[in-house]
């Protein structure tokens, strides 16, 4: 049986690859060539040369006129013979081509990630190449793209650590098996374990940067009702994300807009105004506001410059309510500056927070808000080359589990149990380095791919 693989329709291009699913000595190249011959009604075409041709359905009716090429393996992405066609991108044309190919014997639509899976099993990609491609396909910003390109550094960073763990396990097992003949230095062994734990924790700290790049930096706006948080969100998004009204307490659910800022994904969140709740629903909304604020990477307290007498006091109250009394990662926004432009600048000169002035009516100061957030982003994620490691949740979880196992080694005096902990930690690190790859890991990785990849 042969598999048909369709790439996503980008710029009117559809790419098809036909390859065998069986383990028999049947040439997938012969079948892919035959499919292309049936589509084009051409018996001969030169390998690796694009040609212009009409495409026909199973009834012999014209589908489209398009470019096509036959690529013999193993010098292809998958390592197998590949036939590609480039048709006009209308849904009708694409559907007709797919239906025609689906009528051919031993041809079927591809499963998600199957194209890349073939490349992996044919040794065209290693596990890091597969993961890198997965990151690259989902990249929305330049820093995400850079992280994807550098993701193969993960294996290099942890492979030496795994080798150290293997050596530690071997030395401990030798000490157990030949206790009477080989002296074993337990203190030296524990010292090496502590060194490995320290190395893993350093990587764990650096991994948080990769998490920010992939998941996005959370910027949460907080403030009393009707200070202009929703209007500010709309100005930042340059579209109407939030409903704006003079009625206090309009915003109940958190509203988000995601933008690219300094090549990073940044998620701005508008929240319910903080005040004495009038009902259960508002109380729940305020509770969720406080929870969001506690998780924010950057907090934007918004105050009404036309009404606020003591900005420092109001911001202090907001920060305490949000459990963010630390002045770091805070940008104060004095909004509605168009209604009070005389004295407000003098009152904030001594504030411990970065402060900007905005008017959503005049759309002034929005750039200042974005610039202030950029400064916070730069502080959170300095560009340090390959520090952006272990950006996937699975990898970080595995790393934490390995550290926990090694910490248990320090808390036991049972050599056999310690050896088991070290072996398990080594296996976990092997999953990150790509040394150990099981079917469950592969299924999880390939499930994130689209049908065409």
Q: Is the pLDDT of residue 152 over 80?
A: no
**Looking at residues 356-383, what average pLDDT do you find?**
90
Q: Is the pTM of this model over 0.85?
A: no
Structure confidence at residue 384 (pLDDT): 57
Decide: helix, strand or coil at residue 355.
strand
**Looking at residues 225-239, what average pLDDT do you find?**
91
Structure confidence at residue 55 (pLDDT): 94
- Where does 212-313 show beta strands of DSSP type E? 217-222, 255-261, 264-270, 298-304
Lookup: tokens for 293: 């604020």
Q: Is the pLDDT of residue 42 over 90?
A: yes
- Give one DSSP letter per residue of 407-433, joined into a string: HHHHT---HHHHHHHHHHHHHHHHHHH
Structure confidence at residue 248 (pLDDT): 73
Instruction: Average the pLDDT over each of 17-21, 91-95, 332-336, 342-346 and give the range with the smallest value.
Output: 17-21
Q: Is the pLDDT of residue 407 over 90?
A: yes
Structure confidence at residue 234 (pLDDT): 93
Structure confidence at residue 449 (pLDDT): 65
Structure confidence at residue 56 (pLDDT): 95
**Looking at residues 188-204, what average pLDDT do you find?**
89
Query: pLDDT per residue over 45-59, tens digit each?
Result: 899 999 999 999 999
Q: Is the pLDDT of residue 124 over 70?
A: yes
Q: pLDDT class for 424, splitting at 50, 70, 90? A: very high
Structure confidence at residue 196 (pLDDT): 92
Q: Is the pLDDT of residue 28 over 60?
A: no
**Looking at residues 86-113, what average pLDDT do you find?**
84
Pairing of strands 62-71, 51-56: antiparallel
Q: pLDDT class for 154, splitting at 50, 70, 90? A: low
Q: At what angle do helices 142-150 and 127-138 cross, to 10 degrees?
A: 180
Task: Name, in order, each residue with C-beta under 8 angstroms of 217's C-beta and a sequence gap of 6 or more.
Answer: 264, 265, 266, 267, 297, 298, 377, 380, 381
Q: Is the pLDDT of residue 268 over 60?
A: yes
* Residue (of 143, 135, 147, 129) closest to 389 by Cα position: 147
Q: At what angle do helices 415-433 and 393-410 cross, to 10 degrees?
A: 160
For the ranges 10-14, 67-71, 342-346, the one whose mean pLDDT is highest: 67-71
Domains, in order of start, for the chain: 2-110 (3.30.1360.120), 216-380 (3.40.50.300)
Cα–Cα distance measured from residue 343 to residue 338, given in angstroms and rounded to the nearest whole number: 12
**Looking at residues 405-429, what average pLDDT do you find?**
89
Higher pLDDT, 64 or 445: 64
Structure confidence at residue 436 (pLDDT): 62
Structure confidence at residue 312 (pLDDT): 85
Q: Is the pLDDT of residue 15 over 50?
A: no
* Residue (of 158, 112, 154, 219) closest to 445 by Cα position: 112
**Percentage of residues in the chain having pLDDT higher than 70:** 81
Q: pLDDT class for 339, splitting at 50, 70, 90? A: confident
Q: Is the pLDDT of residue 451 over 70?
A: no
Structure confidence at residue 5 (pLDDT): 36
Task: Give the residue carrying structure tokens 């105004």.
Answer: 273
Q: pLDDT class for 347, splitting at 50, 70, 90? A: low
CB of 261 closer than 8 Å to CB of 374 = yes
Structure confidence at residue 30 (pLDDT): 55
Q: Is the pLDDT of residue 64 over 90?
A: yes
Structure confidence at residue 348 (pLDDT): 66
Lookup: tokens for 206: 């650096």
Query: pLDDT per residue over 239-248, tens digit each?
Result: 888 778 777 7
Q: Is the pLDDT of residue 360 over 70?
A: yes
Q: Is the pLDDT of residue 267 over 60?
A: yes
C-alpha R_g of the chain: 29
Q: Is the pLDDT of residue 159 over 70?
A: yes
**Looking at residues 85-98, what average pLDDT do you find?**
88
């Amino acid at each position: 049986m042969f598999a048909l693989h369709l790439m996503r329709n980008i710029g009117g291009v559809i790419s098809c690859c036909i390859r065998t699913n069986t383990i028999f000595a049947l040439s997938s190249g012969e079948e892919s060539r035959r499919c292309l011959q049936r589509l084009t009604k051409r018996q001969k075409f030169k390998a690796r040369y694009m040609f212009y041709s009409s495409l026909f359905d199973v009834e012999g009716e014209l589908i489209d006129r398009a470019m096509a090429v036959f690529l013999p393996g193993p010098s292809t992405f998958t390592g197998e013979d590949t036939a590609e066609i480039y048709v006009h991108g209308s849904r009708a044309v694409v559907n007709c081509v797919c239906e025609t190919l689906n009528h051919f014997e031993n041809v079927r639509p591809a499963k998600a990630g199957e194209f890349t899976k073939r490349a992996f099993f044919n040794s065209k990609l290693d596990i890091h190449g597969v993961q890198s491609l997965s990151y690259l396909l989902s990249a929305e910003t330049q820093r995400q793209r850079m992280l994807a390109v550098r993701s193969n550094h993960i294996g290099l960073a942890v492979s030496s650590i795994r080798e150290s763990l293997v050596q530690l396990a071997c030395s401990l097992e030798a000490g157990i098996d030949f206790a009477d003949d080989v002296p074993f230095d337990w203190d030296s062994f524990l010292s090496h374990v502590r060194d490995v734990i320290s190395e893993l924790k350093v990587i764990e700290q650096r991994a948080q940067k990769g998490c920010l790049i992939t998941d996005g930096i959370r910027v949460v706006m907080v403030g009393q009702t009707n200070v202009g948080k929703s209007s500010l969100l709309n100005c930042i998004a340059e579209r109407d994300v939030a409903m704006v009204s003079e009625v206090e307490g309009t915003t109940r659910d958190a509203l988000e807009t995601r933008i690219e800022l300094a090549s990073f994904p940044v998620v701005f969140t508008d929240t319910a105004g903080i005040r004495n709740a009038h009902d259960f629903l508002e109380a729940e909304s305020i509770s969720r506001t406080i929870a969001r604020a506690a998780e924010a990477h950057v907090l934007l307290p918004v105050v009404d410059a036309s009404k606020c007498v003591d900005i420092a006091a109001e911001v202090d109250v907001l920060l305490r309510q949000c459990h963010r009394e630390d002045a770091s990662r805070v940008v104060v926004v004095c909004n509605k500056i168009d209604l009070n432009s005389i004295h407000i600048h003098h009152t904030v000169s001594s504030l411990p927070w970065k402060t900007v002035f905005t008017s959503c009516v005049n759309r002034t100061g929005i750039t200042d808000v974005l610039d202030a957030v950029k400064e916070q982003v730069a502080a959170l994620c300095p560009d340090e080359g390959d520090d952006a490691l272990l950006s996937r949740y699975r990898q970080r979880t595995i790393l934490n589990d390995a550290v926990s196992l090694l910490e248990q080694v320090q808390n036991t005096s049972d050599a056999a149990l310690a050896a088991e902990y070290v072996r398990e930690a080594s296996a976990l690190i092997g999953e990150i380095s790509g040394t150990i790859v099981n079917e469950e890991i592969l299924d999880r990785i390939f499930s994130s791919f689209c049908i065409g990849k």
